[in-house]
A = this chain, B = another copy of it.
Amino acid sequence: MGVSKKQVRVGMIGYKFMGKAHSHAYRDLPFFFDTDVVPVQQALAGRDREGVEQAATQWGWASTETDWRRLLEREDIDLIDIVTPNHLHAEMAIAAAEAGKHVICEKPLAMSVDEARRMVEAVQKAGTVHMLCHNYRFAPAVQFAKKLIEEGRLGRIYHIRGQYLQDWIMDPQFPLVWRLRKEVTGSGALGDVGAHILDLARFLVGEFQEVSGMMETFIRERPLGEMSGGLNARAEAGNRGEVDVDDAAVFMARFENGALGVFEATRFAGGNRNGNRFEINGEKGSIRWDLENMNNLEVYLEEDEPGLQGFRTINCTEEHHPYGAAYWPSGHIIGYEHTFINLFSELMKGIADGSSPAPNFEDGLRNQLVLAAVEKSSRSGQWIKVSDLNPVTRR
């Protein structure tokens, strides 16, 4: 289908959880959106031949590579999609940009501010389109929240409280998977789910000015096991290793616009399978959102008449809501995977007109600066100004 449309031929590196989510988004995008350019699942790269071929067959990729650098050499690839563990992002993204490819990368952008800055420089130099996969921005309810804020419906923002609460590693016998190893992941809950709430805060409230944080590792030793595993990773008997990343990170923030923020990223909040939530209080109204009921936005408007004031539960599935027209009639909810489809629809628009839609690598760098500030603050016990970590970029 879409035969007469311009195609963006994608080469994706990695094929675990995020590989599945991205593959599905490429598959479904043309079904729901009428973009000028459409993605083609051209090639999937992964080191293990059997694994990558099985994934390609299941998810609809036309070819495979076992050396990701081969994707950069192929002329039939326009866009490199990086869904590998975090320690590989910088090398791959920089190489992709240098090869003249558009790049989309999973979050967090990098292992450090320095890496992130080099990535930004690489895409700026190459002039290719770049984007970062903070998919939760693209939940219709979150986009609608953004719209309300931009229209001034909340007025001046006073508060944001953001939490990303999970519980998948609470069992002390859960093994030392890659997301618990600093050399591969950079940080723990902070970089993984904390990066998401930071991005939502930047998107909805604005830039961070300074932060004060603390980080904690509750379970300091775990059995070794399925290194590349996710939620259901199996532990091996016997050997154990040290957990060198944070199980939880808590931080306060002041924003440039004077708002106060308080954030919590943890994998030790039992019963919260995927509790990505925020509340924002402004001069004229408040909003609340929770990923586990992601189609709903709760909105309080001070302008409502006395006696009739209260939070409204809005099912953001109408044609009046962002991306609402692409899917089903009102009240027919969408799910997690659609955040990626929506995100990729923006990427396609960016590639069509040569722009890099937010969140892009510059957003990734700004996010990384805040993550670094939280880590630094956590070590020093001091408030850290985000600008102090970034003398060059900040104006």
B158 touches A266 (CB 8 A): yes
Residues of B within 8 A of A218 (CB): 158, 258
A336 touches B336 (CB 8 A): no
Q: How far is the CA of A216 from the CA of B210 in the complex (A)?
A: 14
Contacting B at CB under 8 A, from A292-308, are 292-296, 299-302, 304, 306-308
Contacting B at CB under 8 A, from A242-299, are 248, 250-252, 254, 258, 260, 262, 264, 266, 268-275, 279, 281-286, 291-296, 299
Residue of chain B at shortest CB distance from A56: B1
Residues of B within 8 A of A138 (CB): none
Q: How far is the CA of A368 from the CA of B117 in the complex (A)?
A: 46
Residues of B within 8 A of A335 (CB): 295, 327-328, 332-335, 338
A270 touches B329 (CB 8 A): no
Knowing A27-B27, A159-B268, A260-B216 touch, does A331 contact B273 (C-beta < 8 A)? yes
A312 CB-CB contact with B under 8 Å: yes
Residues of B within 8 A of A301 (CB): 308
A290 CB → nearest B CB, Å? 11
Residues of B within 8 A of A317 (CB): 273
A34 CB-CB contact with B under 8 Å: yes
Q: How far is the CA of A125 from the CA of B294 in the complex (A)?
A: 47
Q: How far is the CA of A102 from the CA of B291 in the complex (A)?
A: 40
A163 CB-CB contact with B under 8 Å: yes
A12 CB → nearest B CB, Å? 15
Residue of chain B at shortest CB distance from A333: B335
Residues of B within 8 A of A228 (CB): none
Binds B, one of A179-187, A318-326, A386-394: A318-326
Binds B, one of A57-65, A69-77, A342-350, A358-366: A57-65
B286 touches A269 (CB 8 A): yes
B311 touches A312 (CB 8 A): yes
A275 touches B331 (CB 8 A): yes
Q: How far is the CA of A223 from the CA of B307 in the complex (A)?
A: 25
Residues of B within 8 A of A168 (CB): 329-330
A250 touches B262 (CB 8 A): yes
Interface centre among A275, A336, A381 (most CB of B within 10 A): A336
Knowing A159-B248, A159-B264, A329-B17 touch, does A170 contact B271 (C-beta < 8 A)? no
A301 CB → nearest B CB, Å? 8
Q: How far is the CA of A27 from the CA of B60 in the complex (A)?
A: 11
Taking Cβ atoms with an 8 Å cutoff, the residues of A that contact B are 1-3, 17, 21, 23-24, 27-28, 30-31, 34, 56-60, 144, 158-159, 161, 163, 165-168, 170, 212-214, 216, 218, 230-232, 248, 250-252, 254, 258, 260, 262, 264, 266, 268-275, 279, 281-286, 291-296, 299-302, 304, 306-315, 317-321, 327-338, 381-383
4 pairs of A and B residues whose beta carbons are closest in the complex: A274-B331, A273-B331, A271-B300, A307-B320
Q: A262-B262, A270-B282, A270-B283 are in contact. List 13 more A-B contacts (CB 8 A).
A: A1-B56, A165-B281, A168-B329, A212-B381, A231-B330, A232-B319, A250-B252, A273-B330, A293-B333, A301-B308, A307-B321, A327-B337, A333-B333
